[in-house]
Chain A
Amino acid sequence: MAHPTTGFFTDSTLCIGCKACEVACKEWNEVPADGFVFGGLSLDNTLGLGHSTWRHVKFVERPVTVGRGGNDPNTMTWQFSSDVCKHCENAGCLEACPTGSIIRTEFGGVYVQPDICNGCGYCVVSCPFGVIDRRPDDGRAFKCTFCYDRQIAGEQPACAKACPTGSILFGDLEALGRVADARIATLHGQGMTDAKIYDPKESSVGGTHAFFLVRGDIADYNLPANPEIPTVHLGKAWGAAAVAAGAIAAASLLAFAFGGRK
């Protein structure tokens, strides 16, 4: 049976920072608690995606332009944005995984098989978005599963189902792209000209299956402008290894020649 490639479209202009997605994700996936640390001036107590935070609502605080969307110079604007594993088209973690634990599912998502992972940690340093991490007390690497189990059952992921504002949309990836384009056109028409889609199609990541609508500088959302997958460095690194190996083999043989045996 052919399956559609599914995706997440997370529209931060609709996010109210309620964290229903975080709660729904934790509950459905039975993810353990991972601390309670507030960051910045706001109500972000999970700080970032990790081994036990698979949805993370960012509270992006920025200065107000008085008279333009705000009146009090002593306060700030809040942009909320629910972050998640990007489920990259070319996934660094998947390519790095030496056990084959990390696979591409029939829905196009990137999934860590918990019964295979041996906790080598190579995926952790291979994710250009800093998403996947090893859970210290468990030993294995964890991240968003794209609710693979729910998708198999024909259901949408827990976070999308629980989102009260439609900020998290789940569905056919191509169709979501058209929804996003229409939303951008609407927002630009209303004068919100800094609204943009974050989906790094031009980088070696080749686009993501979870893409975002954000405003202003993407760096404020801790999103990389030009994410690169590790394998872009393969040629350079193995080339250097080949040069080194050849030189050392030759040097070792030469060392024994011309009286070197004595």
Chain B
Amino acid sequence: MRKPDAASEARLEAIRRNATEATVEGHGGSYYGLPLLKPTTWTWEVPAYFFVGGAAGAAAVIGFAGRISGADSRLVREARWIAAIGGALSAPLLIADLGRPERFLNMLRVFKPKSPMSVGAWTLVAFGASSAIATLPMEDRRSRLSGQAGLPVLHWVSDSAGAASALTGLVMMTYTGVLLGVTVIPVWTKHAGILPIHFAASSLGSAAALLELRGHRQLAVRRIATTAAVIETVMDAAIEQPNVTARIGSAFAGPIPLALQLLFGRSRKARQAAAVSALLGSLLTRIAWVEAGS
């Protein structure tokens, strides 16, 4: 029979320590390579809404700038109509993406300034309403010639709504970039400081493109299209594009229309090609950036 002594007990203590003192080794710093974050659940309606809402917002801004500059009323009227139609199309797109579309109005039970989704929902409502009202008749040569009584109030309502539509339109153009940037998705947050500019410039390019395709030949429309293409060309160079679609979209939104405008700007066909390119680029860019988060 063995008698426990100090040495034997120390040995047993050492064995016990040996068993518990282990430290575990890592294996590559992940859990079976499974992603930590959830991908976005958004479907095609979201980038489509970004595109339509942005172009509509920019059209409202162009319409307002044209109005206070005394531009041709046909240009102003059509810009306002593009804003109104785009605003009207935006709501169903945004609603269609909801998991519970019938509860869209729950967006309007609170206002949360720190939530870009909340700010966006309220902006869309204000933009949609004001851009629709801004299609009411405004004072122009036609209304002056006909001399209709009682219209000044209508004109005032139309122009006030046009101003409100332009103001909220500026948010429509930019906030979608904020919406992506203020999340936890690394590819979006990394570009939080540039996506609002990228999306705003391509929105402006889209609105100018629509006016070009509607046959508006004012120098202002061409200048705006070129400005947007210049900014988008800078964005194309400055942004590390997340995928192939983004690279293609960026090229269509910036360098391609810019080259067409600068080299063949006198040709109507070339300007129209540039317009189509800008529209396509703006849409592809948004599809690509939403896709990058999924």
A complexed with B: yes
Residues of chain A having any CB pair with chain B under 8 Å: 39-40, 44, 47-48, 50, 58, 60-63, 65, 67-70, 77, 79, 92, 95-101, 116-122, 124-135, 138-141, 190-194, 215-217, 219-224, 227-231, 233-234, 236-245, 248-249, 251-257, 259-262
User: Could you list 26 A-B pairs, sorted by A, with CB under 8 Å?
Assistant: A62-B27, A69-B18, A69-B20, A77-B22, A92-B184, A97-B115, A99-B103, A118-B99, A119-B98, A119-B99, A120-B117, A122-B183, A125-B185, A130-B37, A134-B41, A216-B26, A231-B114, A237-B178, A240-B178, A240-B181, A240-B195, A241-B200, A256-B71, A261-B69, A261-B71, A261-B220
- Which residue from B27, B69, B112, B178 sits with its C-beta under 8 Å from A241? B178
Alpha-carbon distance A138/B185, docked complex (angstroms): 24
Q: How far apart sit A240 and B183, CA to CA, in the bound complex (Å)?
A: 16
Known A139-B99, A260-B223; contact A237-B41, beta-carbon cutoff 8 A: no
**Given A190-B20, A252-B204, A256-B69, 13 other A-B residues pairs in contact with their CB atoms under 8 A:** A95-B112, A126-B184, A127-B37, A129-B36, A133-B38, A135-B99, A215-B24, A237-B177, A240-B196, A248-B61, A248-B200, A260-B223, A262-B218
> What residues on A are CB-neighbors of B220 within 8 Å?
255-256, 260-261
Residue of B103, B115, B171 near A95 (CB, 8 A) is B115
Whole-angstrom distance from the CB of B103 to the nearest CB of chain A?
4
Partner of A130, one of B29, B38, B104, B166: B38
Residue of B nearest to A239 (CB): B193
With A248-B173, A253-B69 as contacts: A65 and B98 at CB distance below 8 Å? no
Find out whether the CB atom of B115 lies under 8 angstroms from the CB atom of A98.
Answer: yes
Do A118 and B195 contact each other (CB < 8 Å), given the known contacts A124-B41, A192-B21, A237-B182? no
User: Does B197 belong to the interface (CB within 8 Å)?
Assistant: yes
Shortest beta-carbon contacts, A-B, top 4: A119-B99, A69-B22, A139-B99, A191-B21
Name the residue in A70, A96, A191, A255 with the highest tally of chain B Cβ atoms < 10 Å from its Cβ.
A255
Instruction: Encode B1-37 as 1/0 by CB contact (under 8 A) with A.
Output: 0000000000000000111111111110111101111
Residues on B lying within 8 angstroms of A by beta carbon are: 17-27, 29-32, 34-38, 40-42, 58, 61-62, 64-66, 68-72, 97-101, 103-104, 106-107, 109-110, 112, 114-118, 120-121, 166, 170-171, 173-175, 177-179, 181-185, 188-189, 192-197, 200-201, 204, 218-221, 223-224, 227, 293
CB of B173 within 8 A of CB of A244, answer: yes
A255 adjacent to B103 (CB under 8 Å):
no
**How many A-B Cβ pairs are below 8 Å?**
290
Q: Which of A48, A98, A190 contacts B118 (CB 8 A)?
A: A98
Q: Which of A132, A190, A221 contacts B38 (CB 8 A)?
A: A132
